[in-house]
Amino acid sequence: MPNDAAKPPLNDPAAISTSHFHDFLQDARELLDYAIATGQKIDDRIIDAIQAGEQHALTKKPPEESVQKELAKAYRDLTSTLSPVTIETLRATAVKAHKPSIWNILGKGQPISVLWSRRLWAWTFLFVLAAFIGETLEKILTQYYPLDEETGFSISLLYVLSTIFKDLTPFMYGGIGSLVFLLKSCHEYIHKREFDPKRIPEYSNRILLGVVSGGIIILFIQQIPTEQGILHISGAALGFLAGYSTDFLFQTIERVIAALLPKVGVETLKQEKPSALPIERLDPLLNRYIAAQDNNDRKLIENLLNKLVDKM
């Protein structure tokens, strides 16, 4: 059993501060080692601050305030220089050389980035297998087990299954497209030491979005206009494109919305002006004005004509 007396008491601020300082110093040293190994240009002040912290840690005394401040500044500038590489991404991509073994293939002892990459392998294999079954099952049934009155229940069930797979084909190719994109990005992030475990939920959502996009895109588009003419493309290919680039679906939806629901400007919302009074409606008043003998009548008709003319 561990010796509880050797642990620092929880109410000892100096012990807690020292422990935190050592963890902080270790993170800074790992980042600095990576920067030096990759030939990054690091300010000498950062190196001096980390080395001073390490020298102070050897004394096993509580860190001085000035040492902590300099180390914090050095850590801040170091992470800014190495961004998007952080201590989390370094540890998540710390792939070690191992001898070939079944444990390494299964991922035992591997960092989270490698485990996630192999999970993508498994999902890709399943989606490709499902797409392969959907593409070939109908051909096999049609060629070797034609549907007729003597067809048994099991063969009929296979035909139903084939129809389901056929309808799901665009969804499956959408999932394959998203997985291909994630595999490409994942391996690039691992190589650059930029894989962030906090973004794994985002990657999982990308798979689901790719599946949905692959099935929905065929509702809006079945051909693509090009400079050479109209390019007819299959639902499976459209599903793959929509899964690989989800922006393809969003841009298509926006174009459809723009075509069906054009924007209404402010000018179109203004109330229409009343239609002008036809000139023929003024003839009776003009005749009465000409025939009027009394000045008051003539003046009244004249005012009325002026008001009607202003509205025209």
Percent helix, percent strand, percent coil in the chain, to nearest 5: 70, 5, 25
- The structural domains of the chain, with segments of one domain joined by +, span 12-83, 105-223, 279-310
Q: Crossing angle for the helix pair 246-260 and 200-216, nearest 10 degrees?
A: 50
Relative to beta strand 229-232, strand 223-226 is antiparallel
Using alpha carbons, select from 26, 113, 6, 137 the residue that is nearest to residue 75: 26
- Helices 44-58 + 13-37 axis angle, to 10: 140
For every one of its 312 residues, what pLDDT tens digit does the chain have, with 9 covering 90 and above? 445 544 555 455 555 567 788 898 999 999 999 999 999 999 999 999 999 999 988 888 888 888 889 999 999 999 999 999 999 999 999 977 555 555 555 666 789 999 999 999 999 999 999 999 888 988 888 888 887 777 788 888 888 898 898 889 999 999 999 999 999 999 999 999 999 999 999 999 999 999 999 988 888 776 666 666 676 788 888 899 999 998 888 888 888 787 776 554 545 544 544 455 555 556 666 666 666 666 666 666 677 666 666 655
Residue 148 is given by DSSP the state S
Per-residue burial over 182-194, b = 16 or more CB atoms within 10 Å of its CB, e = otherwise = beeebeebbeebb
Q: Is the pTM of this model over 0.75?
A: no
Beta bridge partners of 229: 226
Which neighbouring-strand residues pair with 230?
225
Please identify which residue in the block is written with the tokens 């459809």: 256
Measure the CA–CA gap between 136 and 145, rounded to whole angstroms: 13
> In the prediction, which pLDDT does 10 show?
45
Alpha-carbon distances of 206 from 114, 180, 209, 218, rounded to whole Å: 18, 11, 5, 19
